[in-house]
Structure 1
Amino acid sequence: MELKQLRYFLEVHQEESFSKASEKLHVSQPALSKVIHQLEEELDIRLFDRSTRHLKITGEGEMIRKHAQKVLRDVEDLTKAANEIKFRKKGSFTFGLPPVIGSSFFPSIIASFRKQYPEAEMHIVEEGAKIMEQSLLEGNIDVGVAILPVDEEQFEVRPIVKRELLLVVSKEHLLAGRENVTMKELEHERFLMFRKGFSLYDRVREGAIQAGFEPVIEHESTQWDFLIELAMADLGVAFLPETVVKKANLHDVAVLSVTDPSIHWNLALIWRRQSYQSHAAEEWVNFVEQAFQHMEEGDVLL
């Protein structure tokens, strides 16, 4: 059974004439008669009494008419609801946010989005970027923030931030008076790292290996402020994003740039390729992109 059959049936009843209904529907009368005949065969019910001079609906047809009207009203309601969801950005989605990134950028953006789109339901999941990528692939998260690079064969990517990691050392450290240092010069240092499962862990380790050594890891943490405290106590050297360093208390530490290689901290919104995204999720992606563009133009993130 098709919706077209029900619409044609109701129009014939309304006009009490196949010829008038065919004109209104812009179909030929034979085509209209064929559709109604197919519907009668499918239902095994005679819908119209064609034996009289004026076309009349049968008793059984009248009962079917009431159901047909309800079906078409429900379809109209569904279409209206879909349009409302689309244009009012309703719907729900799960947003994956690594803790170090969330504390740097997103509280104000999330608050602005919820104010502008109160009917959009956002669930926030905090976990390391590498673990989050797997959650995206498994469908547990709809949209997440990643530290580039990621596998672009598996993920759609929308870049939002380009930064570098900086080195934080105690003011008592031998490097404290310098502005920059090469990665090779850190070969014998003790590294204070974000925990495995965080992309920052991989970026720092990869940079050290590229410089020719395996880093000695003194401690791993999920908290950037704790890593600064450890560096302040001269228990090792810590690599932290520029944005974290800018907002931290740096009275008893020194901050250096790292070269050969420099370690990039480029962020992007990502989601699984060919996955369905609600209109709310799509609007969130656009909202975040625009927010970061405005912040960059205003130099807020530097």
Structure 2
Amino acid sequence: MELRHLRYFVALAEQLNFTLAAEKVHVTQSTLSHQIKQLEDELGSRLFERESRKVTMTQTGEAFLERARNALREVDEGLWSVRMAAEEMSGVVRIGTTHTFNMRIIPQCISVFVARHPSVRVEVMEMSGDDIAESLARGGLDIGVTYKPQNASGLRFEALYTEEMMLAVGLTHPFSKRRFVRMSELHLQKIVLLPRSFATRALLDECFRMANATPVVVAEMNAIAPMMELVSSTDIAAIVSEHATRREDVRMIPVESPTPTRAPGLMWRTEESRSPAARAFASIIRSVCAEASHDRRRASSRAATRKKPNQRQDSNPVSS
């Protein structure tokens, strides 16, 4: 499969007319038809249904279209980045990010970016995922770094990695010595959560439902730092990202059955080309996150090797 096959496929999918699609990609109609047939043969599935005067897409074609568009977009952006690499960038790149990213990933990315592109100013605004989506939609940001919000219409979301959420408790909490906690054990436990307007809250509510657990939600807070402060001085627990700010007075405990997981990622407007500076910053974010994920997997592998076979079999509220 070559890039031209994808470009011809997308053109025909958009036009649903061989004559118009051939004109768009500057080839003859017979060449286009032959190339589409080659692609279908390689995939082993029909992408279009051809009738005498009508072309329609098959279910396979519909499923393949988004992937093909994404692949072409990445290639085109890569080519653009190569062309711009030799030119000095300027201007401003505006980043919207959630607290977790702003504490860890974004400062590291800025350090790398300003060293490479000193003529570009970086503006970072810490916001909720929904606020980032809204600001992107109206052109107030160039890139969002967040968890996928509930309303992301008109925006493209690119997952960077998958992370687990963990139970955060103070040192005197009954669960503080536990190696892990099952979601069902949080039934009637006092807990502080994000408000219901957050996508993460919907995820946690679904996990509680699956475990048939109803915690006592004593407070809702829209920021992690005050949640951790509350947890540290009370018997109230929280469920936060495994990458939340670590404190010596708070224990982070894995949650199981089910384990809440979410995927942070990049977000930008679908129908608008990003500036060279925004493309460059997004590339650095991908690299930093990929390296961090690799380090976490390596650390987890070492920990699993050291773990005793019966280490995670204790399900009593307090370990012996």
TM over 0.5: yes
CA distance in 2, matches of 1:196, 1:101: 21
Q: What is the aligned partner in structure 2 of residue 266 from structure 1?
A: 263
- Corresponding position of 2:185: 185
Contact 1:129 1:197 in 2 (8 A): no
How does 1:278-293 map onto structure 2 within 5 Å? 278-293=275-290
TM-fit CA distance, 1:257: 1.1
Note closer, same or farther for the CA distance 1:289–1:85 as it changes in structure 2 (3 Å cut).
Answer: closer
Unpaired runs of 5+ residues, structure 1, are 1-82
d(CA) in 1 for partners of 2:165, 2:116: 33
* TM-score, normalised by the number of residues in structure 2: 0.59
Equivalent residue for 1:162?
162
CA contact (8 A) 1:91 1:279 kept: no
Offset at 1:195?
Answer: 4.3
**Deviation, structure 1 residue 289:** 0.9
CA distance in 1: counterparts of 2:129 and 2:142, whole angstroms: 14
**AA aligned opposite 1:276:** S
Q: Which has the larger radius of gyration?
A: 1
Percent identical residues = 20
Whole-Å separation in 2 of the counterparts to 1:85 and 1:175: 52
Give CA-to-partner distance per residue, 1:11-44, whole Å, 9 cap, x none. Answer: xxxxxxxxxxxxxxxxxxxxxxxxxxxxxxxxxx
Q: What does 1:78-227 align with in structure 2 at a 5 Å threshold?
A: 87-148=87-148, 154-213=154-213, 215-227=215-227
| Cα distance in 1, alignment partners of residues 265 and 292 from structure 2 | 15
Structure 2 partner of 1:249: 247
8 Å Cα contact 1:168-1:238 kept in structure 2: yes
Q: Is the 8 A contact 1:159 1:266 kept in 2?
A: yes
SS in 2 for 1:243: coil
Deviation per CA, 1:48-102, whole angstroms, max 9, x where unpaired?
xxxxxxxxxxxxxxxxxxxxxxxxxxxxxxxxxxx87983233333211112321
The number of equivalent residue pairs is 217
CA distance in 1, matches of 2:116, 2:263: 27
Q: Which amino acid aligns with 1:275?
A: E
Contact 1:128 1:197 in 2 (8 A): no
What is the rounded CA distance, in whole Å, between the counterparts of 1:239 and 1:248 in structure 2? Answer: 13
Equivalent residue number for residue 8 of structure 1: none
**What SS class does the counterpart of residue 283 from structure 1 fall into?**
helix
